[in-house]
Chain A
Amino acid sequence: MNFDFSEEQLALKDEARKFLAAKCPPDRVRKLMDEDSPGFDPELWAQVAEQGWLGAAIPEEHGGLGLGYLELCCIAEELGRAVAPVPFASTVYFFAEALLRAGSAEQKAKYLPQVVTGELIGTIASAEQAGAVSAANISAEVSGGKLTGVKLPVTDGAVAHHAVVLAKEGGKPTLYIVDLNGPGVAREAVNTIDRSREAARVEFKDAPVERLGEVGDGLALFEAINDRAAVLIAFEQVGGSDMCLEMAKNYALERFAFGRAIGGYQAIKHRLADMYAKNVLARGNAYYGAWALNSDAPELPIAAAGARISACDAYWFAAKENVQVHGGMGFTWEIDAHLHYRRSRQLALVAGSARNWKHRLVSMLERRNAA
């Protein structure tokens, strides 16, 4: 057994951390949010593409580095730590993974090289209303190769070029690729709780589509893609959680009250110890997910659920308690605690709520026990 990343992978992670510390400091994220910008940083996006990160796990035949998912997990952790305002998750974990998982040879050849270079921003459009994505909650309909319906919210939907859309064809859930700049697509950005990540309402009216996978396979594929994305997002969450703990610890050491550093008081110490404990559990669960993803193990769905549930719990706790440890300063715009507070919720919802994942996990355990 070797339950750790290799020296090379850790070196890549270290390099990514240094790169993002230089190119994506927190004040840049805050400034972007101030400016009422498109919710992403095009300059940083270009630099990320230049690093080759977009293609870390995309095979060389499609222009990627073909490294693997463990390397992608290392990058994800650092993007999460930096609260990077880029459509990385939408493009790489969802759009590219959907193609790798369900795309034909032609579709892969057509889209993946553009993902690698950063020319193509991709996303996934599944939800239409409040509540978990399910067959009953999908109204978008494809008929005669044309899609009609409304998707809300679509993360990065205002800046993406293409989306994988979950819709029904003859009542059967199916995935499609849609050119968001093509005819029959109207989109507008919506205000969200995490202003460093954009989202849109996208309306389709007889928009031409390209089918991804078989008719009727839509939900199964959607779940499989979500499993993969959940592991990668868990690494972003673990990176964010660790950063929150670091911020809280540093503040607790430098802030003095009643004659001593507040980090000397047990009310603060114990809170940080609890943060650390949750972060450790989340990291362990995320590592298992990484192993399952990278080796395409049959345990992947269970591992992904564990990674997601644990990471959602850790990041939420770390983010909210980081604000609390900072006291009044934590509630101000200038202190970066709110960046993580927002992002922790954005990541906890973008691949479906932890509540829903808990139900899924228990269903899988029931099936495993019965077997």
Chain B
Amino acid sequence: MDFNDTPEEAEYRAKVRAWLEENAPRGVKGASLGDEDESQMDACKAWQAKKAAAGYAQIRWPKEWGGGGGTTIQSVIFAQEESRMGVQLGGPFAIGLGMCIPTVMATADDETKKRFVGPAVGGETIWCQLSPDPAGGSDVAAIRTRAIKDESSVDENGDFDWVVNGQKIWTSGAHYADYGIVLVRTDPDAVKHKGLTMFWIDMKSPGVQCKTIHQMSGARGFNEVFFTDVRIKDSQRLGALHDGWNVSIITLMNERASVGGGGGARGGGAIKALQVAQKIRDENGDPLSNNSTVREKIAEHYVRAEGLRFTGMRSLTALSQGKTPGPEQSVTKLVQAAGMQDLAEFMVDLQDQAGIIRDPSLAVENADFQEMFLGSPGGRIAGGTDEILRNIIAERVLGLPGEIRVDKGVPFKDLPTGR
């Protein structure tokens, strides 16, 4: 067990640090995924292009695909150093490079890959992932968006159009994405998971309409996406016909593998919480950081965040040794999301009456904790709710029985919809 960098890792870190010192943009405020304004988006694209040119975008990918030809550890070191510099400009590309493009690379022909991979790595194009329907939610495969083959459109090469009608929801960044991958129902007579197919789609196709969703935090990072007679070529299909569920699992596996871990600051938000508590006075004029309850709570947040950081390092160790990480990483999102809400409530509460102020010019810490308070409920829902994550841990890690499923073996079209 050695917690320190190996000499090679230290050397790489020094190299990265020097490059970042010279090239990293300063003072550009990052935005939450999908909520970037125009100037932030320009900064994001410029930074992504700069990284790609230097081989620091997609460090683990082969050079022929615009990557850096490096190792997992190197990509984590870069992410750590980038975050240390306070650069948070990767948001718009995260879904494309983490999920969509890996799916394209695993399923598409060379021509398609050449067309899409390089520009996505360089930040020239942005992708979104169109999976759940409004009726689906946690039941992701309950997709009603329907693709019907237009028999009259078959051309001399055997290619033809699918005509797509329906709606997707919770699609981050769809309003500015150039392309997307979309999961649609091609066979409603088959059982739920069997009749789905995955396609790539140009988001400017006629009949695609994005409508941003007004979130409780006030942000508008994700969308409803409506499909009205949208034509998608069969040659845009990713994977086999009716095999879309398995293709979407490739997407998911890639997301898991790309979870680096080991990043993040020591103690998460607990150090900031302590600094804030030192500045706020209690009823006797003493700093709140002297209060026992406050101290205990800060310690709990610190230890939880550190536990996650070390769990990431355990997974990383396995990856760097060419092993498959254990299931420990499965707790990360569950713990982190609930912890963030807990920390936000605690920190807003510490401020007493002033805790309601969200105006950055008047609020403690520029209203960071008020923003966290309003944004954190989304964290417990997005990318798998707390409840679904607990089911996954219980079933896949601990081997407990699955939920009683009344939809098993039933043709999708015959499933009750509740309305």
Contacts and interface: CB of A to CB of B under 8 A. Distances in A.
Interface in A269-320: 269-270, 272-274, 276-277, 280-285, 287-288, 290-291, 294-295, 297, 305-306, 309-310, 313
A269 B390 contact: yes
A270 B317 contact: no
A69 to B, nearest CB: 10
Interface stretch (B147-155, B235-243, B302-310, B410-418): B302-310
Given A281-B335, A294-B1, A361-B302, A264 B401 contact: yes
B306 A272 contact: no
A209 interface: no
Contact of B314 (A260, A268, A287, A309): A287
B299 A309 contact: yes
A134 interface: no
Nearest to A284: B310
Interface residues of B, number: 57
Interface in A1-49: 1-6
B41 interface: no
B404 interface: yes
B320 interface: yes
Interface in A245-282: 245, 249, 252-253, 260-261, 263-264, 266, 268-270, 272-274, 276-277, 280-282
A6 to B, nearest CB: 7
B125 interface: no
A365 interface: yes
Given A295-B3, A362-B295, A309 B300 contact: yes
A1 B320 contact: yes
B310 A3 contact: yes
Q: Which of A245, A287, A357 has the most CB of B within 10 A?
A: A287
B391 interface: yes
A110 interface: no
A280 B328 contact: yes
B394 A269 contact: yes
B397 interface: yes
Q: How extensive is the interface on chain A, given as a class?
A: 35 or more
Contacts of B308: 281, 284
A1 B262 contact: yes
A3 B1 CA distance: 5
A294 B4 CA distance: 13
Interface stretch (B115-123, B176-184, B267-275): B267-275
Main secondary structure of the interface of B (DSSP, over half): helix
Interface of chain A: mostly helix, strand, loop or mixed: helix
Given A270-B387, A270-B394, A369 B311 contact: no
B331 interface: yes
Nearest to B394: A269
A272 B400 contact: yes
A280 B331 contact: yes
A369 B409 CA distance: 59
Given A266-B387, A359-B295, A306 B306 contact: yes
Contacts of A297: 3
Contacts of B300: 309, 313, 358
Contacts of A282: 307
Nearest to A260: B401
A276 B271 contact: no
A280 B307 contact: yes
Of B4, B296, B400, the most chain A CB neighbours within 10 A belong to B400
Contacts of B313: 1, 3, 284
A70 interface: yes
B6 interface: yes
A106 interface: no
B401 A261 contact: yes
Given A273-B394, A362-B299, A2 B2 contact: yes
Nearest to A277: B331
Contacts of A361: 299, 302-303
B289 interface: yes
A270 B399 contact: no
B5 interface: yes
Contacts of B57: none
A245 B399 CA distance: 12
A266 B304 contact: no
Nearest to B274: A365
Interface in B358-414: 387, 389-391, 393-395, 397-404
Nearest to A5: B1
A369 B314 contact: no
A114 B261 CA distance: 45
A199 B334 CA distance: 40
Question: Lowest 8 CB-CB distances: which A-B pairs, in order?
Answer: A281-B307, A284-B310, A358-B299, A269-B394, A264-B401, A273-B390, A273-B393, A277-B331
Given A1-B262, A273-B389, 11 more contacts: A1-B3, A1-B320, A260-B404, A270-B390, A276-B397, A281-B303, A281-B304, A283-B311, A284-B307, A359-B299, A365-B274
17 contacts: A1-B73, A1-B313, A4-B317, A260-B401, A260-B404, A266-B390, A269-B395, A270-B387, A273-B398, A276-B397, A284-B311, A295-B2, A309-B299, A310-B307, A355-B296, A365-B270, A366-B278
Interface of A: 1-6, 70, 245, 249, 252-253, 260-261, 263-264, 266, 268-270, 272-274, 276-277, 280-285, 287-288, 290-291, 294-295, 297, 305-306, 309-310, 313, 355, 357-359, 361-362, 365-366, 369
